[in-house]
Amino acid sequence: MRIVTGFELAKTVLSRRARGDEGPDEREATVREIIGEVRSKRDAALYHYTEKFDGIKLTSLQVNKEKIAAAYQKTDEQVVSAINLAAERIRSYHATQKNILLHDSVKSGVGWLVRPLERVGIHVPGFTSPLPSSLLMTVIPARVAGVGEIILVTPPQKSGEVAPVTLVAADIAGVDRIFSIGGAHAIAALAFGTETIPSVDKIIGPGNAFVTLAKKLLFGVVGIDALQGPSEVLIIADDTANIEYCAADLLAQAEHPSGSAVLVTTSMELADKIVRETEAQLKNLPRPETATESLEKNGIVAVVASVDEAIELANLYAPEHLLLMVDKANTYIEKVRNAGCIVTGKKGTIALGDYVTGPSHVLPTGGTARFASPLSILDFIKLTSVSNIEDSILKKIGPAARTLAKAEGLDAHAKAVEKRLKS
């Protein structure tokens, strides 16, 4: 991990994270071809690409209820219990969010209606390793928001079947239909629909670069949540921070491919200790290769003069995860302007939020926390504005509308208002 000292140097180093369009991606041509094939050949293209990319020759796309029921017998009881606990907490958090945020308002003449989306598609990776946590974190907010139908696409594993733990999580979360495909071709299927898979209103969920490109290219044909990038954490630590905890959370992010692990501290001595502890813990990981690569490429330790300077760096960096390992951490929360999530508490860790805390772990990455928010029930609803124009309102605002319409040269607009004013 690279150590930098001073606010200005740290600001320069952290600002080097790429933003915006870096030019054409050579993979884009491949994704465009996949999208075109799925749009024209539909199910046939899905069978073809699943065999080509995953090495699996499917005989059916949809997972039947018998396989879902059998999945419980193949999944450890402790895992099922953990999924139920996580689901309960995620559901409770988003139900509270719904009660606070979502209400029709049409009483005052001008207001809005809140309506859930009719059908959404959830993409959950799973060829190499199942990700039941990502499934819970995307499906449950949709279910709480009242989405009419939830379609899950997730790739089969080498066995040719969707992982049992994924099927159990899907059943507990409330998925309506499951299809054993993943990747860019699955995104195209959700956008256009095929003989078997229905088209959806919005596509939610993470994936590899090909999935992200497919979502980007199909935005407008279908809604998307975001273009997720590599996972990242920024930890702010002072002399009260637990060195082992800091190192463990840096590694937890670094074990994601291309993950960014950033530590900002007020103490050079602490910085040295945490770097050494991170290296020691790294040696004890059973699969250290990914974390090692991430730390070498994206591991940064910055030493600054104060916690306030560290907070300012965090606001400039706009991290996906912000972990405050400082004395009286809660007193600094109001100063944070840009972060996907904030974790405090002596035993706080990002890993809890990845699984069971409650808020969705689908968060803005790559600095997009400057303008974006975590996945929530708001991603699964739409607002319709409502205007009930009575005589009293017309008399108050009609003349101004007529004046503005004439100023814009839109005579028919002006006359539409005039006719009502005259009557």
Kindly list the catalytic residues: 320-321
What is the Cα–Cα distance from 203 to 60, expressed in whole angstroms? 22
What is the Cα–Cα distance from 419 to 417, expressed in whole angstroms? 6
